[in-house]
Homo-oligomer: A and B are copies of this chain.
Amino acid sequence: MNWEELARELSVSNETKIILLVIDGLGGLPHWGRTELETAQKPNLDHLAVSSVCGLTDPVWPGVTPGSGPAHLALFGYDPLRYRLGRGILEALGSEVEVAANDLVARGNFATLKEGLIIDRRAGRLATAETERLCAKINEALKEKDGYVFHLAPGKEHRFVFKVSGQGLSDALSEADPQKDHLMPPPAAPMGAGAEAAGSASLVNSYIQAATDLLKDEPVANTILLRGFSKLPSIPTMSELYKLKAAAVASYPMYRGLAKLAGMEVLQAGAETEDIVAALERSFKDFDFFYVHYKKTDSAGEDGAFEAKVRAIEEIDRFLPRIVNLKPDVLAVTSDHSTPALLKSHSWHPNPFLLSAKSALPDRVTVFTERECGQGLLGRFPALQAMPLLLAHAGRLKKFGA
């Protein structure tokens, strides 16, 4: 018996409201002895910590650095080792591309091919309008083949989502993208022995060839690269599992896609922190559960910009009182994964976790940092156990057994 089965059996609906604020990539490493969180002036988070119970979460497994997909799935209570998400699926969902059960999707780039080598994987960061024009051109010419229907959905700059619909498609395909410049573009290769993977590889490769033929006179964007082939996993919704009416406030496509996959209603919100908090305030009466995603900390961490990450923490801290003032029954502040500026990437370090609720036993943690949360009463726990705690403190889990 796992958490999902327990959740189906024990969850009940009531009038409580839960907010899960995810400060993406929050955890860090010291620069002159202090982490980003330890350096930031964040009086509101610290004040909240005084009356909260804290801990540290491991997103997937101690030592394992998660992508945003598994890290978020774990936070939403889905075992990330059970549900594997292709990047293509996340991108497609987040780009408002409708994906059906049989569809195969991938992330795509326009790229520059010269003498058999990819010399620029991003085709000079092609203008978005150009990407739109080229996608339309390809869509018109390459609509259908042998009963399979193809579609490119333009994204920002050189990016697009590739989708093919039809029977018997497999996502067990290697990347049709060299990942680095100055290499030959590799064909998609079937991973494993299945006939479906072989057929899908051949279908995808002939599409790439046909698109490249169509683009042969383009000066910069004269080929396409595809990676992250994936199909829609079958994930029970938060409504099915937890009897929650859940909403997501997130401006970045991938996080919106993740939320949609978990059955959340994705609210419209601009990229500014003001937009996000205003969207939460506007919709607070309409849902039980709110996943609120704040991206700036992760972006700064990925850039190795320690000071910018400190400022991003200080920015979300200034908005915190507006979230607290909504008076949710349960408010959790945490992250999906750490992104230390020192490493310029996601990392395996555990996430600070703070839970505020009437039934929370406040611990000694009065400063919301990685090291202080390590002293919290929740201890160190898998992020997969965050949802059970949120539901429990919201009075949404029945007693197990007699």
Interface residues of A (CB under 8 A from B): 1, 3, 6, 10, 29-30, 35, 56, 60-70, 80-82, 84-87, 90, 228, 340, 342-343, 345-349, 359, 361-364, 370-371, 374-381, 385, 387-393, 397-402
Contacts and interface: CB of A to CB of B under 8 A. Distances in A.
A66 B401 contact: yes
A228 B67 contact: no
Scoring A62, A69, A345, A377 by chain B CB atoms within 10 A of each residue's CB, the highest score goes to A62
A67 B377 contact: no
A230 B66 CA distance: 40
A64 B379 contact: no
A29 B80 CA distance: 33
Contact of A392 (B29, B64, B364): B64
Contacts of A30: 361-362
Given A80-B400, A349-B359, 14 more contacts: A6-B61, A6-B64, A56-B377, A60-B401, A63-B392, A66-B399, A66-B400, A86-B402, A342-B359, A343-B359, A345-B399, A347-B392, A363-B371, A363-B374
Copies in the complex: 2
Given A64-B10, A385-B62, A349 B375 contact: no
B374 A377 contact: yes
Contact of A402 (B63, B64, B228, B399): B228
A284 B393 CA distance: 42
A205 B340 CA distance: 63
30 contacts: A6-B64, A29-B361, A35-B361, A56-B379, A61-B400, A63-B391, A63-B393, A65-B397, A65-B398, A65-B399, A65-B400, A66-B399, A67-B399, A67-B401, A67-B402, A68-B402, A69-B401, A69-B402, A80-B401, A85-B401, A346-B399, A347-B359, A347-B392, A348-B397, A349-B361, A374-B376, A374-B377, A375-B375, A379-B379, A380-B380
Nearest to A384: B62
Contacts of A389: 62-63, 348
